[in-house]
Amino acid sequence: MGDIKKIRKKYSGPAHPWKKVNIDAERILKQEFGLKNKREIYIAQSFLKKYKNIAKKLIASRTVQAVKEKELVLTKLKKIGLLSASSGLDHILNLELKNILERRVQTLLFRHKLARTVHQARQFVTHRHVLIDNKEVTSPSRLLSLEEESKMVFKPSSSLSSDSHPERINTAQQIHDEAEAVKAKEKGTKEEKEEDEGLIIGEKLE
């Protein structure tokens, strides 16, 4: 048997985690992208920092190897939709944390209107309802390529694959109509109750 390989952390946290500015910014990101914990933010930050550091080194280098590495880095980031076709190394330095979080399975499922909220999108993924290129996905944090994004569907055996499923009502107008119907029903019930109470009071007075 070989030696047990030590599993290393894939991220590094902030140097000053208790700064109010950082805490408030992380809270907003957690809410906006439906993240489970701050670790998911730190993983995305580490991914971004890694490629920004690579870009800085390659911009300063003029060797043949640097040219090859430049093409590999640009190809990878263009593939996952972080850069446009005409982007160069300078554009990597302009990337922000939100650009990374937007490429997650969870976020894209919500953006494609396959879920009502980002939190619901996360639930669909973790409950094994989603297929990407006919392969089951269970990690909400996985970054998708542009090609994979177009192949994101619900599993045929899942009840969510039907457009008539109650949880598939996802457009703003449908949600608005649904909310208005609930309000109208509550209003009607309230009026009926008030009318019944009025009749009871009238009978007592007689």
- Interacting residues of 79 by C-beta distance below 8 A, sequence separation 6+: 145, 146, 147
Question: Residue 36: inside a domain, yes or no?
Answer: yes
Mean pLDDT of 13-34: 91
> Which residue among 79, 98, 117 closes a domain?
98
Q: What is the pLDDT of residues 111-155, one digit of tens each?
A: 998 998 999 999 999 999 999 999 999 999 999 999 999 999 999
Residue 1 forms part of a structural domain: no
Residue 30's pLDDT is what?
A: 94
**Residue 12 reports pLDDT greater than 60:** yes
Would you state the structure tokens that stand for residue 168, as one six-digit string?
A: 């598939």
Which of the four pLDDT bands, split at 50, 70 and 90, describes residue 177? low
Are both 110 and 59 inside the same structural domain? no
Q: Which helix (H) or strand (E) holds 39?
A: helix 38-60
Q: What is the pLDDT of residue 179?
A: 62
Helices (H) and strands (E) in the chain, counts: 9, 3
Q: Which of 46, 63, 98 is the last residue of a domain?
A: 98
- Alpha-carbon gap, residue 65 to 48, rounded angstroms: 22
Provide the domain count of the chain: 3
pLDDT in tens, 78-118: 999 999 999 999 999 999 999 999 999 999 999 998 998 99
> Residue 148's domain is classified under what CATH number?
3.10.290.10
Domain range for 158: 104-165
If asked whether residues 160 and 180 sit together in one domain, one would say: no
Residue 178 has pLDDT above 80, yes or no: no
pLDDT, mean over the chain: 85
Domain presence at residue 4 = no
State the pTM of this model.
0.75
| Locus of tokens 């390659």 | 58
CA nearest to 48, candidates 86, 101, 90:
101
